[in-house]
Chain A
Amino acid sequence: MKKFMMNLDYFFKEAGRIIRLNSLSNIFTFLGTVLVLFLLASVVTGWSIASRLVTMLEEEAEISAFYHEDVNENGVLGLVDSIDKLDGVISVRLVNEAEAYNRMEQILANDAGVLELFEENPFKAYIEIRINPGMIDSIVEKVEGFKEIEFVRDNRGVLESINSIINGIHVVGYLVIVAVGITTVIIISHMIRQGIYNNRDQIKTLHLLGASRMFIGFPFVCVGLLITVGAGLIATFIMSLVIHQGYIAIGGTIPFIPLPPEGSLVLGVTTVLISVSLILGMVGSLFGLSSVRQV
Chain B
Amino acid sequence: MIELKEVSLRYGDGTLALNNIDLTIGSGELVYITGPSGSGKTSLLKLIMGMENPTSGTVKVLDKTLSELKSKDIRCLRQRVGPVFQELKLVPGRSALENVLMGIRFLEFSRKEMREYAIDALKKVGLSHKSHSMVENLSWGEAQRVAIARAIARKPGLILADEPTGNLDQDNAVNILNILSSFQQQNTSVVVTTHATHLIESQKNTTIIRMSQGTISVEKRGDGI
Binding site for B on A (CB under 8 A): 3, 6-7, 10, 17, 201-202, 204-206, 208-212, 215
Contact = CB atoms under 8 A, between A and B. Distances in A.
Contacts of A209: 78-79, 83, 102-103, 106, 154
Name A's interface SS: helix
Interface string B67-95: 00000000111111101010001010100
Interface string B29-73: 000000000000000000001010000000000000000000000
B51 to A, nearest CB: 7
12 contacts: A3-B106, A6-B111, A7-B105, A17-B93, A208-B78, A209-B106, A210-B77, A210-B78, A210-B81, A211-B75, A211-B105, A212-B75
Given A201-B89, A202-B91, A205-B89, A211 B51 contact: no
A10 B83 CA distance: 23
Interface of B: 49, 51, 75-81, 83, 85, 89, 91, 93, 102-103, 105-108, 110-111, 154
Nearest to A204: B89
B89 A210 contact: no
A215 B75 CA distance: 12
Nearest to B71: A213
B106 A210 contact: yes
Name B's interface SS: loop
Contacts, number: 46
A242 B91 CA distance: 46
A10 to B, nearest CB: 6
Nearest to B151: A209
B102 A206 contact: yes
The 10 closest A-B pairs by CB, nearest first: A210-B78, A210-B79, A205-B89, A215-B106, A211-B106, A202-B91, A210-B75, A209-B103, A6-B111, A7-B105
Interface centre among A209, A212, A215 (most CB of B within 10 A): A209
A195 to B, nearest CB: 14
Given A3-B108, A202-B91, A208-B85, 8 more contacts: A3-B106, A201-B89, A201-B91, A208-B49, A209-B78, A209-B106, A210-B106, A211-B75
B93 A208 contact: no
B193 to A, nearest CB: 16
A208 B89 contact: yes
Contacts of B107: 210
B82 to A, nearest CB: 9
Given A7-B105, A202-B91, A208 B79 contact: no
Contacts of A3: 106, 108
Nearest to A11: B105
Given A208-B83, A209-B83, A210-B78, A10 B89 contact: no
Contacts of A204: 89
Nearest to A21: B93
B107 to A, nearest CB: 8
Contacts of B79: 209-210
Interface centre among B79, B105, B154 (most CB of A within 10 A): B105
